[in-house]
Structure 1
Amino acid sequence: MLLLMALFAGALITLQAGINSQLGVLLKNSLMATVVAFALSILVSGLALISFTSQWPNWSDVRAVPWYLWFGGVISATGVGLFYFLIPKMGVGAMMSYALTGQLVLAVLASHFGWFGLPQVSLNQAKLIGLSAMIAGLVLLNR
């Protein structure tokens, strides 16, 4: 079930990127499309938070969060904005293939070094072969 949910999440990312990049084209402003997407995300996430959260963090839990973890939204806004800007120029297939490759390379490095407090999973030959195959696939997909 988790695998299906992960595949569905990936499909939703491609769908929203394509839809919102077209919104940016029609509005002639990819940043406006980014703001619209995040405003609606705040609304939907806020309603879900209020509806489904039974236990809220206390103030000491909030203060214990490392400062840099509060800046994920800046990274999200930058990444999403770049998607909406680049898709009309590159096409959704090319953009998603490059983005996925970037995600996988960073994921392997983050796992190997245990960045962001993630469990450490060593880089091995199989992972290097898999990444190489992804990069080869990227080249073939974008010919």
Structure 2
Amino acid sequence: MQILMLVFAVLAGLTNPFQSAANAQLNKQVMQPVWVATCTYVTGLLVLLVIQAFRRESLPGASLIGQVPWWAWMGGFVSIFGTMGGLLLAQKLGSGIFTGVNVTAAVVCSLVLDHFGLVGFKQHTASPMRMVGAALMIGGLWLVARF
């Protein structure tokens, strides 16, 4: 089961540059980034509704919804920054730099979230080796951007 989760995580990561490219190209043609982002979320919603038609999950009860921390509802809001960043910057920076910045920033942010056990993550100390790993990603990003 662990290997399937890792394969799915890899596939999810592989979609990031394609999503940025598709959104950026649509914005290049339409030149209205808010409408392009809206289109992105509407098409995503339509796909989710098709999946829901097959899965037939019931709505969560009010008691469950009431137990959710406030910040857990912010996923869609926060994802807008990545979507807008991709459609406005991916073609200008290039996929390697744009994706590299995104992934490197995500790793650095993840180390902080893990270290302090924030937003529901189990606490994982930012060991020296984890920090070296993040520094290597920053160095790798510099190489991708420079050469």
TM-score interval (norm. to shorter)? over 0.9
Once the two structures are TM-superposed, the CA of residue 53 in structure 1 deviates from its matched residue by 4.2
Distance in 2 (CA, whole Å) between partners of 1:25 and 1:4 is 32
Work out whether residues 71 and 119 of structure 2, in 8 Å CA contact, stay in contact via their aligned partners in 1: no
Check conservation: 1:24, 1:31, Cα contact below 8 A.
no
Unmatched tracts of structure 1, length 5 or more:
none
1:74 aligned onto 2:87: no
> Which one of 117, 120, 124 corresponds to residue 123 of structure 2?
120
Aligned to 1:141: 144
Asked if the contact 2:23–2:36 (Cα under 8 Å) also holds between the matched residues in 1, the reply is yes
The residue identity in structure 1 corresponding to 2:109 is: L
Q: CA deviation digits over 1:61-108, x for unaligned, max 9?
A: 111112222222111112211111111221111100001111101111
Gaps (5+ residues) in structure 2?
none
| Cα RMSD for the two superposed structures | 1.4
Q: Structure 1 residue 38: deviation in Å?
A: 0.4
Q: How many residues align?
A: 143
Q: How does 1:25-64 map to 2 (within 5 A)?
A: 25-64=28-67
The percent identity for this pair of structures is 27
Where in structure 1 do 4 or more consecutive aligned residues deviate above 4 Å? none
Q: Tell me: CA distance 1:37–1:66, structure 2 relative to 1, closer, same or farther (3 Å).
A: same
Taking structure 1 as the reference length, what is the TM-score of the superposition?
0.92
Give TM-score scaled by structure 2 length: 0.90
- The change in CA–CA distance for 1:53 and 1:124 in structure 2 (over 3 A counts) is farther
Q: Is the 8 A contact 2:16 2:99 kept in 1?
A: no
The verdict on how the C-alpha distance between 1:128 and 1:15 changes in structure 2, with shifts beyond 3 A counting, is same
Shift of 1:46: 2.3
> Which residue of 2 is the match for residue 91 of structure 1?
94
